[in-house]
Amino acid sequence: MTATVSVAERVSGLLDGAGGVAHRLGGGDICDGYRVELSGGPDGDVFAKTLAGAPADFFEAEAAGLALLRSTGAVAVPEVLAVEPDVLVLDWVPTAAPSAAEAERLGRDLAALHDTAAPHYGTAGPLYLGPVPLTTPDPPVTDPAGWPAFHAEHRLLPLLRRAVDGGGIGERDARDVERLCDRIDDVAGPPQPPAVIHGDLWSGNILWTGDRPRLIDPAAQGGHPEADLAFLENFGCPHWERVLGAYEDVRPLPGRRERASLHVLHHVLLHAALFGGAYGAECGG
């Protein structure tokens, strides 16, 4: 049985369909994505994603992240139709070319999202950034003054250890990251209370629809809003200046640009741990 046939049968069974056809999609670095055309049932075309050997709570964590984002009312996300240890099924979102007007809508939506308070940094349940589990201390950190230490101990240093162990970063660059973590209070900027963030917001995790963008593949948690902006800017976002301008019309962030490299480091370390290559060298300096 081919993977596409297996996925079509699995999704059809979960959604009470009468069968369907799955088409493999490109673009996923971690999971396999499929468009499934259902021949019965009320859902029509749907999106399904799978990951061979996924942890039992992997897709549960993603579904919880989408639910968290949806609960804020600030951003649009696909509807979760089914979640099982081996598959996540979402409604199918038709896409369009990104426009300046929709980019401005994204900026306003993100500003509203980041004005949504979170009870603490991290999550109460499982959380993954790509395939890598992220931790939340017990008890969780609620004090804004504690964010720098939380970020160093539960975000940067665990990824640094994975990158070192996997040979994805050199000794000198690793020492640079360790020194940064030692003085993170000096570069973190003013205290930021925990806010709801997407947590993995690069342009590939935005579905442009011609109206209101949908956010996908979150690592949603209580975090620092500047992380979402730093990821978008560093990894490229259509009409970025429109996004940022609309965001800052609602939620100005003086000094954000000077702090962006601190927030980007989290993702660069992830890439160094997963892919090695030049990413390790980007972490130093």
Instruction: Give the pLDDT confidence of 11-22 residue by residue, as tens digits.
Output: 988 987 767 899
pLDDT of the residue at 200: 97
Q: Structural domain tally of the chain?
A: 2
Residue 275 CA: distances (Å) to CA of 32, 47, 71, 102, 270: 18, 27, 34, 32, 8
Torsion-angle region of 217 (φ positive above 0: left; ψ -120 to 50: alpha; else: beta) = left
The answer to whether residues 14 and 116 belong to one domain is no
The answer to whether residues 86 and 104 belong to one domain is no
Q: Is residue 189 scored above 50 in pLDDT?
A: yes
67-97 pLDDT, tens digit per residue, is 999 999 999 999 999 999 999 999 999 999 9
Using the 3D structure, point to which of 72, 91, 110 is the last residue of a domain. 91
The answer to whether residues 111 and 213 belong to one domain is yes
The answer to whether residues 69 and 150 belong to one domain is no
User: Which domain covers residue 105, as residue numbers?
Assistant: 100-282
Return the ∠ at Cα 244 (arms to 96 and 181), rounded to 5°.
Answer: 115
Using the 3D structure, point to which of 91, 119, 152 is the last residue of a domain. 91
The answer to whether residues 212 and 110 belong to one domain is yes
Using the 3D structure, point to which of 60, 91, 122 is the last residue of a domain. 91
Give the domain CATH number at 168. 3.90.1200.10
The answer to whether residues 22 and 116 belong to one domain is no
Q: Report whether the peptide linkage leading into residue 148 is cis, meaning its omega lies within 30 degrees of zero.
A: no
Return the ∠ at Cα 204 (arms to 198 and 206), rounded to 5°.
Answer: 55
pLDDT of the residue at 1: 45
Predicted structure pTM score: 0.95
The answer to whether residues 227 and 151 belong to one domain is yes
- 38 band by pLDDT with thresholds 50, 70 and 90: confident
The answer to whether residues 145 and 267 belong to one domain is yes
The answer to whether residues 149 and 245 belong to one domain is yes
pLDDT of the residue at 56: 96
45-57 pLDDT, tens digit per residue, is 999 999 999 999 9
Q: Is residue 164 scored above 70 in pLDDT?
A: yes
Give the domain CATH number at 9. 3.30.200.20
Q: Are 68 and 220 in contact (CB under 8 A)?
A: yes
The answer to whether residues 21 and 119 belong to one domain is no
The answer to whether residues 10 and 75 belong to one domain is yes
How does 30-51 read in b/e, with b if 16+ C-beta sit within 10 Å? ebbbbebbbeebebeebbbbbb
The answer to whether residues 156 and 262 belong to one domain is yes
- The more confidently predicted of residues 43 and 44 is 44
pLDDT of the residue at 30: 85
Q: What is the mean pLDDT of residues 156-178?
A: 97
